[in-house]
Each structure stands twice: as C-alpha cells, then as structure tokens.
Chains A and B, each alone.
Chain A
Amino acid sequence: MRHDVFISGYGGQGVLLAGNLLSYAAIHEGLNVSFFPSYGVEKRGGSAMCTIVFSDGDTGSPVVGHPSVSVILNQLSFDKYAAKVKPGGICIVNSSLVECDGVELPEVELVKVPMNRIALELEDIRMLNMVACGAYVAKTGALKITSLEEALKKALPERNHRLIPANVKAIRAGAVAAG
C-alpha cells in the first residue's frame, strides 16, 4: 500500500499544516511517511506546496511527478498543477477560489469543494485547510478520519489545543461536502 498526495495553494492557506496533519495521521496508523515541502521565500502570499507519501513499506521518492491525488487551494495552483494528476487519479479543488467550470481533466475525477465558504460558515476562514483534509480522507479513504482527529494533538502546538474541537468540526464538514 502506497499513497501519495500533493497539496498546493498560496502561503497563509495552511498548506504545510494540512500536510503535517495528514503525515501525523499516517504515522498514527503505523505507516512510514515522507513529507516534502517547497515554498517561496515570502512569509505570506507566495506559493506553498507539499507532497506526502505514506506507505506500509518503502516510501520511495519524496518527489512525485504525477500525483494520484492533488488538493488544489487556489487558481494559480490549479492552472499549473491540475493537469499533472495521474490518469485514474483525483483532483480535489477549492471551488470557492478556483474557476474550473467546463474544465475537462481526462481520466481524472474532479471534486469541487467550496472550502472558503464552508470555513466561513464555521466562522473561521483559517479552517479551510482542515476542510481540505476532511475532503481528502472522505474522498480517498486513504486514512481514517479519527486518525486525523488524533493527529491534531501532534500537528498543532500545545497553545492551540483549545482549538482542536473547531478543527474537528471543519474536518467533518469537509468530509461531508466531498463524501
């Protein structure tokens, strides 16, 4: 069993935290994990990407040319990376920010989740990365949603643990939206 997922957005959307959360969840399930981040030199507004590979055996290359699943949080990332998804793969898109009506990705399932809107309905736009993680696990079944909830304790610094219930809510909302 080997899964890979590519997450891309702009700095500040929580791409790296989302990647860390999925990684901790995979570790919680006893898997080996490679988390490979790459981002611009800017603190906010630059682009942020990460690739997570998890496997019950060797994780192999941390660099993936054609991911089996991509989670795309903004338009720039969609234009640049959506076409790289492997045939038979899944592209989960933040349809609040990405204009993708009428776009055809051959042999790729396009899943539209209005992540900003869902996060705003929960009254915290910063939760959009949690919505994305929920959508990912619900759509792929690669990890258990309970593992994500467990992983929040490790992915979030202690001072933010009071926000765990709100994050759990956002993960579940994302799962429902993609399910």
Chain B
Amino acid sequence: MSEKLFVKGNEAVAMAAIEAGVRCYFGYPITPQSDIPEYLSRELPKNGGTFIQAESEIGAINMVLGASAAGVRAMTSSSGPGISLKQEGISYMAGSELPGVIVDIMRQGPGLGGIDASQADYWQATRGGGHGGYRIIVLAPASVQEMYDLTMLAFDLSDLYRIPAMVLADSVIGQMKESIVANPRPQVELPAKEWAVRGRKAGEPQNVVKSLKLGDGEMEAFHWAMLDRYKVLAENENRWEELLTDDAELIVTAFGSTARISRTAVAMAREAGMKVGLLRPITLFPFPARAYLSLSQRCKRFLDIELSTGQMIDDVRLSVARDADVAFYGRPPGAGSLPTPEEIFEQIRKVYP
C-alpha cells in the first residue's frame, strides 16, 4: 500500500485529475472550490498540461468543449453561481457528444447565496441543467478518498459514453481533510477517439463536432440514440453503498456530506437497539433505482436526508416499491444549518416503525 496522504477534498480532485491524465484545465475562481484551480495552476504545467484562468466561467466551459473536441482530457470546476453560467456550454457539449469533467462544489443559493455547504444543485445536476433535454453522468463522493477515486472514474465514464460527467460535492467534502491513498489510474479499456478533430491528413475522412443538427430526422435520431445510451449507462454504471441494510426496519438514505453525517446517526440508532440501515447513492445519474426497489420489497420505511428542502427525494419516491413510505428531513442550506448526527438520530426515532 502506498503512503497515506492528508489532503483536502478539493486537492484530492486536482491530484486525481492529474493522475487521470487531464491535459487541460480551464476555470474561474469561486469559493469553496478555489483550491482546485490553485493546485492545478501549480502542478498541472509540471505534468505537461495546460492551466488557464479563463475570463469567465462561460469562457472556461467553452474552452473545455474545444479541448475535448480535439480529443484530450479536459475539465473545469466551479460552484453554484459559476455552474449556472456553464450550463450553456454543457448543453453544447452534450449535443456534440463530447466528454469532459465538470466539478461542482456546491454552496448555498439561489443567486449569490453564501459559501456554506448545500445539496440544492441536485436537480440542476441530475436533470441536465441546460436546455434541450439531455443528461450528464453525476457522481457524489462522500469522503476525500472518494473525491480522488470518483474524479478518475468521471474521466473514464465520460470518455466511454461520450457524455459530460460531473463530480457533485459540497464545501464539507471539499474543505475537509482526510487521510487517503493516492491510487494509480485504473486500467480501463477505452475506445479510441476517432471522432476527434485533430487536423485531417490526406485521404482521411473529415471529422465534424457540432450540436447543430438541421437534417431531416437528424435531431430525433440523436435523441433516441442518446436515450439508448442512458439506458446502457443505467444498466452498467449504477453505484451505491449499503450499510447494515440486511435486517433494517428503516433505511436512511442520503448522498455526499449528509450520508457521512447519517452514518454516525445510524450507528447511534444501532446502539439504541433500532434496526436501521443506510443506502447511499454514489451515482446520482444514473440513479441506483434498482437498489431502492430491491430493498423496499422487504423494508417499507425510508428516511431521506438532504441539505435542501427536498430534491433527491423525487428519485427515491420514483424508485421504491409502491407501498413503501418515504419520510423526509432536510435543512435548507445556510450558515449554521448543517445537521448533526444527534439531530438525524432524533428524526430516526420519530419515524422508526
């Protein structure tokens, strides 16, 4: 085993991006994610990559589009307000079937909001965010180790499916420091980027990367093809974690930071003799619906915990068996609104059958 490092979640994202072979980073500073560009501005050029602080978030995402069209691994990172600005570019990337990694370290909103942790970008991330009807891959790390591992996975999945991938975390996971092992890049078989626009040599066919599709039936065919791809994604790439669910009478479900807080609440409930488990989605799109369906065949009570007034709960309700009951406890994001394990334990007590 390699030596354990003690790093911030944001730094782990940046380290993983370099290990994953990112060639280009484009971004614009915003709290609470600025450690990512800070680290990459120092380390990426040393590793043969290019770092550019763009003139704006819109500039940055369109640079990602351009670099990705040229076939190299490219990424950007931001937080809520900046991610909103990037939506146009993300939509163009989705329309052009371009891979690329976008990191959202969520802060409060709407508007300028504030710098404390939030999970209220769930809808924006999982429903596509921009115009035109598309989905992106969304991964939700709950530890610094996962910030590292899932960033590398985001690059691989994005290249494999030619769909932009987002790492969705918040300022708890981004700012917290933990001991991690900086694993080497996993060996994954990826298709060659034969579609990339790299300069055409004599006799080679022309590659065109675009989202404008004016031909008769061209756009409709694109949407049906993408739907098929989303189905393959849902079939093959669902990831989730279960903790003590085997005999559970109540299953707490949460992602990212609230899942971490819930872990301790579940341990407290177990100590109090209550049969409580935890189901933590790791992929938010594709949403691990089958885990919910299968667990809800036996356990009929769920408690969804979010740092918002309730967004993921839509997907939970769509996924569980019809006769299962989903309770909700949320704290709208804001200074001082981070729930404690004791507080979640209180909610467990309230809804425990």
Contacts and interface: CB of A to CB of B under 8 A. Distances in A.
Do A and B belong to a common assembly?
yes
Interface of A: 20, 23-24, 27, 31-38, 41, 58-66, 154
B175 to A, nearest CB: 6
A147 B106 CA distance: 36
Contacts of B115: 41
A41 B107 CA distance: 14
Interface of B: 4, 6, 115, 172, 175-179, 257, 260-265, 267, 338-343
A60 B176 contact: no
B176 A37 contact: yes
B175 A37 contact: yes
Contacts of A60: 260, 263-264, 267, 341
Nearest to B262: A61
B177 A63 contact: no
B265 A61 contact: yes
Nearest to B176: A36
B342 A59 contact: no
Contacts of A58: 263
A107 to B, nearest CB: 16
A31 B178 CA distance: 11
Contacts of A23: 6, 177, 179
B179 A63 contact: no
The listed residue with most B CB atoms (<10 A of its CB), out of A20, A31, A32, is A32
Given A20-B177, A60-B341, A64-B341, A27 B4 contact: yes
Q: Which label, helix, strand, loop or mixed, suits the secondary structure of the B interface?
A: helix
Contacts of A66: 340, 342
A65 B341 contact: yes
Interface-central residue, B257, B260, B264, B267, by most chain A CB under 10 Å: B264
Contacts of B179: 23, 27, 31-33
A166 B267 CA distance: 42
Contacts of A63: 172, 260-261, 338-341
A62 B176 contact: yes
7 contacts: A23-B179, A33-B6, A36-B175, A61-B260, A62-B257, A63-B261, A64-B341
B264 A32 contact: no
Given A60-B260, A60-B263, A60-B267, A65 B178 contact: no
Contacts of A154: 6
A65 B342 contact: yes
A61 B177 CA distance: 13
A61 B264 contact: yes
A35 B263 contact: no
Given A27-B4, A27-B6, A59 B178 contact: yes
The 10 closest A-B pairs by CB, nearest first: A65-B340, A61-B264, A60-B264, A65-B342, A35-B177, A61-B261, A36-B176, A61-B341, A60-B263, A27-B179
Contact of A64 (B257, B263, B340): B340
Contact of B176 (A24, A32, A35, A65): A35
A149 B343 CA distance: 37
Given A34-B176, A62-B176, 14 more contacts: A23-B179, A27-B179, A33-B179, A34-B178, A37-B177, A61-B261, A61-B264, A61-B340, A62-B260, A63-B172, A63-B261, A63-B339, A64-B341, A65-B342
A60 B175 CA distance: 16
Contacts of B261: 61-63
Nearest to B116: A38
A36 B172 contact: yes
B178 A35 contact: yes
Contacts of B340: 61, 63-66
Among the interface residues B177, B260, B261, B267, which one has the most CB atoms of the partner chain A within 10 A?
B177
Contacts of A27: 4, 6, 179
Nearest to A54: B179
Nearest to B345: A65
Nearest to A39: B175
